[in-house]
Structure 1
Amino acid sequence: MADDSLTPIAILIDQLKNEDTQIRLNAVRRISAIAKALGPERTRRELIHFLTDSVDDEDEVLLALADELGGFVEYVGGPEHAASLLPPLESLAASVEETTVREKAVESLNKIAEVIPAETFKDTFVLLVKRLASGDWFTSKTSAAGLFAVAYRRSGDDQKKELRRPPSHPSSSLFFQLAKDETPMVRRAAATHFGALIKQMDKAQIKDEVLPIFSPGLANDEQDSVRLLVVNICSAIAPSFTYEENVQHVLPVALACAGDKSWRVRYMVADRFCELAKALGPEITKNNLLPAFSKLLKDNEPEVRTAAAFKVQGFASLIPVDLIIKSVLPGVRELVHDPSQHVRAALASNIMGLAPIFQKDKTIEYLIDIFLALLKDEFPDVRLNIIAKLDAISSVGIDLLAQSLLPAIVDLAEDRQWRVRLAIIEYIPLLGSQLGIQFFDEKLSNLCLTWLGDSVFAIREAAALNVKKLAEVFGTEWAKNNIIPKVLSLYTHPNYLYRMTTLFSIGQLAPVVGADVTISVMLPLVLHMVKDPVPNIRFNAAKTLHNLVPLLDGTVVQGQIKPALNQLFEDTDRDVKHYASLALQAC
């Protein structure tokens, strides 16, 4: 008689041999259910053994397998048996050429390493790392680089020393061998994970073990794909060193990267500049890194200038304002008119953040003209990015916004790009709350009405929501006297889009202004629009009445709203009838 308990394994084997990739992928995604059916012991003895021999498949299937095994500890019997999961993951990490599969295998191995008991860690996980690091293929070695940090952190002092300088190779560690491997991919992997390993070492170990690998090794690598990662290593080493040690060991490497012949390396410096400056400290930043940053702002490559432009605000927060004005601002002014629109857009995304740093007087003197130039840029994304940061200017005084920037903002309210108009709409309530009721009524009120009749639906929809937010900012009385009459006056407009927007606005305003204003001012208008000749207006009137039902008392609902809905339910238009039916159910 056949043993039914063999069925899960038999099914899995059959599915993993299927020619259809999706079937094999689905099978891998169900191995946790198979493991539950088998139990921990048979999962370790049969399933894991089978999976170890099943690492010859398409990358998509292997990626799923690597992912599943990372959360498999509970199915093999818990942490005390977690090491049983290492063999299949080691095979994936060592032999698969696809990078994403190996990276997922390394990720899962690191997760499992955290729960392996200390007494077995050396003889399981550490040995695995050593095997991978000593492998013949680059795939094995690149995976080993990603495992060293966890192996080192969880090892005892003796084992750590052996990882740094094994007895068989007293002159260098296995990691050092990876960092000087003849294959660029291996050196790159070592450089990528070097920072995580450095964080597990003390200062003496960094000086004795890391610096020989770092410089002149990786820092002078012939491959720019390796050298660009040296910037992160600089940031990892610097916090452990004194000012003098950083000047001697780290700063020369950082400056060499900032002036590297490869734009990719310079790009990485610009992209990581704030982290590097924080790691090296304020004195080195002011004395040595500031000129390097100014040079990056003027780099020949637009990609480098873009990365540097993104860091203007962050770097400016690390140095005194007078140094920003003297050394950074000249480069910033050149970027305002940079031939690359992407550079200008990057600058616009954070230049407003300088206002709180400069404070009011210096903002007026040094920054306003930059803000205005970017607000008028021909490229829409530049205008959008500067608009998105308008709130930063409020910290230096609203009068500055009103006097200097508002005219440009008002111009953008009629911008030919609808996304720019939409961005302005979203900031109107904020501007209104800062400028006050009187200023808003004089300068911005008419804009809100203009947007309600915009040709773009997204603008009209945002404008209706904008009306609601303004009512929340300025109060019901202001809305009743100032905005509602103007909004409702659109219901007679010959263009049905204006009439439609009136209904949208009523739906937004009703919850804010309350039942009394809704019943006395807005409901009669909705009831009138039930008879509009355009079907779109009639079914939106039904939807608006539907929204008003929960806001009003039963007498009004039964006496005024329900009869109107009954009339709409008899409409010849199918959509009108449908929405009227839904609203009647709510009644």
Structure 2
Amino acid sequence: MAEDLYPIAILIDELKSEDVALRLNAIRRLSTIALALGPSRARDDLIPFLQESLDDEDEVLLALADELGKNFEDYLGGREYAHLLLGPLENLAAVEETLVRDKATESISKIVAVLTPDQTEQYAVPLLRKLSTGEWFTSRISSASLYAPIYPRASEASKEEIRRLYAAIAQDDTPMVRRAAAKHLGEFAKKLSKEHVLSDALAIYIRLSIDEQDSVRLLTVEDLIAIAEQMAPHQVKEHLLGSIRQTYQDKSWRVRYMVANTFVKLAEAVGPDIVRDELVAAYVMLLKDNEAEVRTAGAGQIPGFAKLIPPETILSRLLPYQSQHVRAALGGQITGLAPLLGKEATIEHLLPLFLHLLKDEFPDVRLNIISKLEQVNNVIGIDLLSQSLLPAIVDLAEDKQWRVRQAIIEYIPLLATQLGVSFFDEQLGSLCMSWLGDNVYSIREAATVNLKRLTDVFGPEWANNTIVPKVLQMGSHPNYLYRMTTVFAITTIAPSLSPEVIQGAVLQTVLTLVDDPIPNIRFNVAKSLEVLAATLLESGPMGQEVIQRTIVPVVETLKEDTDADVRYFASRALEHTLGLETIGR
């Protein structure tokens, strides 16, 4: 007997400890303790003890609520004893801390799923009744999330009572309880028959949708969608049309924001007739809303909503808005309309707007448009897009916002792939080189990466004839930033160049910068020589000879530099270079 009680004794000692970590550890080992006790003692000793030991830190209570929902009934003897777990969890569902209550109701829902109909009637329904009518509002809040899992498993008589109980918490004096009722009404409505959706859920929704608290009303938008999904279109028009109008005209911007943010779901739920007759005008109102957040959320719904309405409605009703925030959101979404409109409508109506937004004074509008160019290209083709787009790209290449210039640079390789080498050299080659001299470091860095990606697209021979000479020419520029960019560019594109190109003018240009008066250039030369050596090593004995004869002596010289950073990077480069060269031999 003493051996049987040993785990309980340990648990009691640890749960009484002043050390929270020790108490938490004890809770985390509940399954092990229950296993050691066996099903009978776990039911008779462990569960009652846990039910009496709920005065603890929130962290410990949260762990307990979590552990009891992890198939703990298996340690009690199986599903027929699962109802014993409801006692401790009922108490946890009434505590003050929200996280503990939420975890407790989550575990209760798991346990309800394994109960028999008789157990549901005997234990789960009374638990729901007790929580729903509890003196403390915290228990009434927790009850709201339990209606959906318990209701389908209850008897018809209990179902009638459960519907009345839900109506009661929806009228609770405490706003937080009404918020909980509004939050879970949609889920509960999905468990009701169509008859009771009309007779019960609808009445509860209407009451909550006109609540004096906007924090309650905004949660009813999801309820509206859920209830509409349970109704036929004519029933939606008869019973919900007034509520739909009320939501997008609500005096609270937070409610209107919720409508705007879920507009596609709402439109899909109410049917095409109401979309055509009511929701297009409602959507236009949201796009013109006084609050920027509402307009932005509405604009984000454009592609999804556009699938539900004719193309001519898109063009005539949805696009002509000048709000800065709408244009920014529209810039990120407009290209999604191209596949919906088709090639001709896109060329006629969307492309002019697209080009107009590329010139927008608000940088986020231009950025969002640039990031989605490929979608338009897939519809109208690169030839037409490039003809329309190239002037805009040239303008954006000199945009005062460096993020816009960077976005254009990142798009160039894709454009180059589709345009072909001849067209690219003629129209965009000089533009790509000009970015190497930008005042912003991030742009110069992006420009060097761009050159490497272009080399991967067009090949090392193209790079040797087109970009390498221009890059090397910058190595003698009086402005040190240009010389620095030369080193960066060489270091970046070297792995994509042929060994012959590297051994020639590229290596010679780097060597001329060994004695540069700027220490930052000298230590970047050391880093560049390290990369060149790694690339040459792959070319075989000839490359190894160049490393030994040319690169190693220069790096050894840099190792004696007066600047500490130069010496550090030279030492590192020498170590790596010699290591590479030795491996090669």
TM-score by length of structure 2 reads 0.84
2:493 corresponds to which residue?
Answer: 509
TM-score by length of structure 1 reads 0.84
SS of alignment partner, residue 296 of structure 1: helix
Aligned sequence identity (%): 48
- Residue 173 (structure 1) aligned with residue 164 (structure 2): yes
Question: Cα distance, 1:463 vs. partner?
Answer: 1.9
Residues 487 and 53 of structure 1: CA distance in aligned 2, closer, same or farther (over 3 Å): farther
1:381 corresponds to which residue?
Answer: 364
Larger Rg: 2
- Residue 255 (structure 1) aligned with residue 248 (structure 2): no
User: 2 CA distance for matches of 1:567 and 1:82?
Assistant: 78
User: 2 CA distance for matches of 1:268 and 1:576?
Assistant: 59
User: 2 CA distance for matches of 1:233 and 1:63?
Assistant: 29
What letter matches 2:216 in structure 1?
Answer: V
2:572 corresponds to which residue?
Answer: 578
Say if 1:374 and 1:382, in contact at 8 Å, map to a contact too.
yes
User: 2 CA distance for matches of 1:326 and 1:462?
Assistant: 40
156, 159, 163: which one pairs with 1:164?
159
2:95 corresponds to which residue?
Answer: 95
2:14 corresponds to which residue?
Answer: 12
172, 190, 194: which one pairs with 2:185?
194
Higher deviation after alignment, 276-285 or 471-480: 471-480
What letter matches 2:263 in structure 1?
Answer: F
User: 1 CA distance for matches of 2:499 and 2:270?
Assistant: 62
Say if 1:355 and 1:363, in contact at 8 Å, map to a contact too.
yes
SS of alignment partner, residue 176 of structure 2: helix
User: 2 CA distance for matches of 1:68 and 1:406?
Assistant: 62
Question: Cα distance, 1:113 vs. partner?
Answer: 4.4
1:22-41 deviations in whole A, cap 9, x for unaligned?
A: xx268526742465367453
175, 182, 189: which one pairs with 2:173?
182
User: 2 CA distance for matches of 1:84 and 1:586?
Assistant: 69
2:546 corresponds to which residue?
Answer: 560
Say if 2:15 and 2:23, in contact at 8 Å, map to a contact too.
no
1:264 corresponds to which residue?
Answer: 254
Residues 301 and 553 of structure 1: CA distance in aligned 2, closer, same or farther (over 3 Å): closer
Q: How well do the aligned residues superpose, as a CA RMSD in angstroms? A: 3.4
What letter matches 1:485 in structure 2?
Answer: P
1:57-96 residue pairs with structure 2 within 5 A?
57=56, 59=58, 62-63=61-62, 66-67=65-66, 70-71=69-70, 73=72, 76=75, 80=79, 83=83, 85-96=85-96
- Residue 299 (structure 1) aligned with residue 289 (structure 2): yes
1:21 corresponds to which residue?
Answer: none
Residues 67 and 38 of structure 1: CA distance in aligned 2, closer, same or farther (over 3 Å): closer
1:440 corresponds to which residue?
Answer: 424
What letter matches 2:174 in structure 1?
Answer: T
1:42-57 residue pairs with structure 2 within 5 A?
52-53=51-52, 55-57=54-56
In structure 1, the gaps of 5 or more residues are 19-23
Residues 160 and 326 of structure 1: CA distance in aligned 2, closer, same or farther (over 3 Å): farther
Higher deviation after alignment, 398-407 or 61-70: 61-70
Question: Cα distance, 1:134 vs. partner?
Answer: 2.5
Say if 1:348 and 1:386, in contact at 8 Å, map to a contact too.
yes
Higher deviation after alignment, 46-55 or 490-499: 46-55
Say if 2:516 and 2:522, in contact at 8 Å, map to a contact too.
yes
1:323 corresponds to which residue?
Answer: 313
Residues 34 and 195 of structure 1: CA distance in aligned 2, closer, same or farther (over 3 Å): closer
What letter matches 1:378 in structure 2?
Answer: E
What letter matches 2:91 in structure 1?
Answer: S
Higher deviation after alignment, 536-545 or 218-227: 536-545
What letter matches 2:249 in structure 1?
Answer: G
User: 2 CA distance for matches of 1:497 and 1:400?
Assistant: 38
Higher deviation after alignment, 368-377 or 286-295: 368-377
Matched length: 564
What letter matches 1:371 in structure 2?
Answer: F
2:132 corresponds to which residue?
Answer: 133
1:142 corresponds to which residue?
Answer: 141
2:564 corresponds to which residue?
Answer: none
Say if 1:566 and 1:580, in contact at 8 Å, map to a contact too.
no
Residues 201 and 361 of structure 1: CA distance in aligned 2, closer, same or farther (over 3 Å): same
2:232 corresponds to which residue?
Answer: 242
2:28 corresponds to which residue?
Answer: 32
Residues 186 and 462 of structure 1: CA distance in aligned 2, closer, same or farther (over 3 Å): same
Residues 532 and 328 of structure 1: CA distance in aligned 2, closer, same or farther (over 3 Å): same
User: 2 CA distance for matches of 1:281 and 1:78?
Assistant: 50
1:348 corresponds to which residue?
Answer: 331
Question: Cα distance, 1:321 vs. partner?
Answer: 0.8
2:105 corresponds to which residue?
Answer: 106
Question: Cα distance, 1:285 vs. partner?
Answer: 1.0
What letter matches 2:195 in structure 1?
Answer: A
SS of alignment partner, residue 146 of structure 1: helix
Say if 1:221 and 1:227, in contact at 8 Å, map to a contact too.
yes
1:539 corresponds to which residue?
Answer: 523
1:414-433 residue pairs with structure 2 within 5 A?
414-433=398-417
1:206-243 deviations in whole A, cap 9, x for unaligned?
A: 2343223233x223333322222222122212233222
User: 2 CA distance for matches of 1:487 and 1:34?
Assistant: 68
User: 1 CA distance for matches of 2:42 and 2:433?
Assistant: 69
SS of alignment partner, residue 93 of structure 2: helix
Residues 43 and 266 of structure 1: CA distance in aligned 2, closer, same or farther (over 3 Å): same
1:93-123 deviations in whole A, cap 9, x for unaligned?
A: 2121x43443343334434544567775554
Say if 2:7 and 2:36, in contact at 8 Å, map to a contact too.
no
User: 2 CA distance for matches of 1:494 and 1:75?
Assistant: 79
Residues 365 and 562 of structure 1: CA distance in aligned 2, closer, same or farther (over 3 Å): same
Question: Cα distance, 1:290 vs. partner?
Answer: 1.2
1:462-481 deviations in whole A, cap 9, x for unaligned?
A: 22221222223333333332
In structure 2, the gaps of 5 or more residues are 562-566
Residues 163 and 540 of structure 1: CA distance in aligned 2, closer, same or farther (over 3 Å): farther
Say if 2:406 and 2:446, in contact at 8 Å, map to a contact too.
yes
Say if 1:73 and 1:112, in contact at 8 Å, map to a contact too.
no
1:370 corresponds to which residue?
Answer: 353
Question: Cα distance, 1:204 vs. partner?
Answer: 3.1
Higher deviation after alignment, 303-312 or 563-572: 563-572
User: 2 CA distance for matches of 1:307 and 1:507?
Assistant: 44
1:466 corresponds to which residue?
Answer: 450
User: 1 CA distance for matches of 2:385 and 2:169?
Assistant: 57
User: 1 CA distance for matches of 2:168 and 2:459?
Assistant: 71
1:152-192 deviations in whole A, cap 9, x for unaligned?
A: 35x2xxx15344303xx8xx432222222232222221121
1:20-78 deviations in whole A, cap 9, x for unaligned?
A: xxxx2685267424653674537777776565455445556655554565547499469
What letter matches 2:268 in structure 1?
Answer: K
Higher deviation after alignment, 536-545 or 388-397: 536-545
Question: Cα distance, 1:436 vs. partner?
Answer: 3.0
Question: Cα distance, 1:275 vs. partner?
Answer: 0.5
1:255-282 deviations in whole A, cap 9, x for unaligned?
A: 2212223332222211111111111122
Residues 246 and 530 of structure 1: CA distance in aligned 2, closer, same or farther (over 3 Å): same
What letter matches 1:388 in structure 2?
Answer: S
2:396 corresponds to which residue?
Answer: 412
SS of alignment partner, residue 400 of structure 2: coil
390, 403, 410: which one pairs with 2:387?
403
Question: Cα distance, 1:193 vs. partner?
Answer: 1.2
Question: Cα distance, 1:313 vs. partner?
Answer: 2.5
- Residue 493 (structure 1) aligned with residue 477 (structure 2): yes
264, 268, 271: which one pairs with 1:278?
268
